[in-house]
Amino acid sequence: MSLESTTQPLVRIDGLQKYFWENDSILDRLFGNDPVPVRAVDGVSLDIHQGETLGLVGESGCGKSTMGETLLRLQEPTDGRVEFDGQNVYELSGDELTAFRHDAQVVFQDPFSSLDPRMTIGETVRQPLDVHDIGSETERDERVADLLERVGLSADQLDRYPHEFSGGQRQRIGIARALALEPEFMVLDEPTSALDVSVQAQVLNLLDDLQDEFDLTYLLISHDLSVVRHVCDRVAVMYLGEIVEVRPVDELFTEPKHPYTKALLESVPRASTDERKRDRETLTGDVPSPRDPPSGCRFRTRCPMVIPPEDMDIEQETYRELMHLRERVENRDLSLASVGDEGQFETDNGGVPDADVPAFVAALKARLLETELPPRHDAIVEEALAELADENWEAAAERLRTAYESVCERDNPSLGDGAHSVACHLHGVASERPSEPDSWT
């Protein structure tokens, strides 16, 4: 689908936020505990155009499903705006909200828990028609039978219960239920993740056929990049509650821009035997907590291409090691008492005697760094570690911060507008860029 074919998006998401709060009970307030936000979705802006399939991808826990539920108003937002066909979803009430529920539906991830085991599948598919008072009794029965036939089931199965069906059949029932009201827009939350590969293909082909038949618009949430490549027109990549790249599907898979997108694509298994000996650049470190996300670019703590200060000629591997050292100093994640031989630097007042400072610095540096530093950086690190001889943590952290602070941690890169957007300083900073790993080019 050409994005230029429509001027007004069907769904417009602007600055959407959804926080979950910890330490926010009555007892916490009585004891003076400050609420802690878990930033599941944090400032997402996207357009979804009529008739297209927009894929939303990212690691588990990045906020994909929460975003889908919040834009459908299954959860109330913390902030932001979602427009559906020009109307602010969060301002709707009464008949207008009912009309929105009619036009926007969801297919849930788990076909086993998303169906009421006490209801027959006929009752399940018919329920939206009853709630919205669509048609007569006879017309509803005919509509349910027709929907089941369209999704590959039989009208003879109306009186059967969910436990009598396989996972793929249950997902077809969920799709039939979502289609009952003839919606314009559907959120597909991992619709094939719980299914066998052969069944996945059947469900995806069904969704594709239904899109053409009913002129549907999809938001497809998935971690399976092969599925996304097969069915989507555009792809939005999500990391730790933020969108980091939006591109047409072919461009994303052939010319990804964001380092996180490249890492995701590197993780996809390759069928070709030519790929057996390729070097894969895997991500290092753990995903940060959404309770306390990193400053600036949230991917910087795992990114293999963090931008050093402009006046600094330094290899990426060395720079990453220095950033890790600085992080440990800032977090005071070091045991100074264990530096050197047992009892070597112990004093009565907690400081290391001036005569022992060089030996203390050498011992600490040997424990913290694996590579030999160039003279300029070696001198900076020694100055910082010397501050720790007097347990002056803040001064040590400030020395390292002044020398090695990156634009990636100071400023959060903007995604920008349009179908070809990337939130990365590598594509928005006029300074010298670090070279990309060979396997990513």
So what's the pLDDT on residue 78?
95
So what's the pLDDT on residue 439?
41
Q: What angle do CA 220, 222, 227 make, to 5 degrees?
A: 85
So what's the pLDDT on residue 3?
47
So what's the pLDDT on residue 61?
87
Supply the pTM of this predicted model: 0.85
Rounded Cα distance, 225 and 202, in Å: 17
Counting beta carbons within 10 angstroms of the beta carbon of residue 348, is it exposed (0 to 12), middle (13 to 18) or buried (19 or more)? exposed
CA–CA distances in Å: residue 187 to residues 120, 301, 394: 24, 31, 48
So what's the pLDDT on residue 216?
94
So what's the pLDDT on residue 438?
44
So what's the pLDDT on residue 434?
47
Radius of gyration of the chain (CA): 27
For domain 3-266, say whether CATH 3.20.20.70 is its number: no
Residue among 425, 390, 49 at smallest CA distance from 219: 49
φ/ψ of 71, rounded to 5, equals -70, -20
Q: Which amino acid is at 395?
A: A
Q: What is the DSSP letter of 302?
A: T
Counting beta carbons within 10 angstroms of the beta carbon of residue 53, is it exposed (0 to 12), middle (13 to 18) or buried (19 or more)? buried
Q: Which residues are registered as beta bridge partners of 11?
A: 48, 84
So what's the pLDDT on residue 161?
94
Q: Which tokens belong to 56?
A: 């939303």
pLDDT mean by block of 10 residues, the chain; 441 residues: 61 96 75 83 94 94 94 95 95 94 92 91 94 92 92 90 91 92 94 80 88 93 89 95 95 93 82 54 76 91 89 87 91 80 57 84 88 90 92 93 92 79 79 44 37
CA atoms within 13 A on the CB side of 106: 21
Q: Which residues are registered as beta bridge partners of 88?
A: 83
CA atoms within 13 A on the CB side of 287: 14
Rounded Cα distance, 24 and 31, in Å: 11
Domain locations along the chain: 3-266, 316-405
Residue among 278, 228, 238 at smallest CA distance from 258: 238
Q: Alpha helix locations (H) across 316-439?
A: 316-330, 357-368, 375-387, 393-404, 407-410
CA–CA distances in Å: residue 273 to residues 264, 270, 276, 277: 20, 8, 6, 9
So what's the pLDDT on residue 282?
63
Contact yes or no for 220/188 (Cβ under 8 A): yes
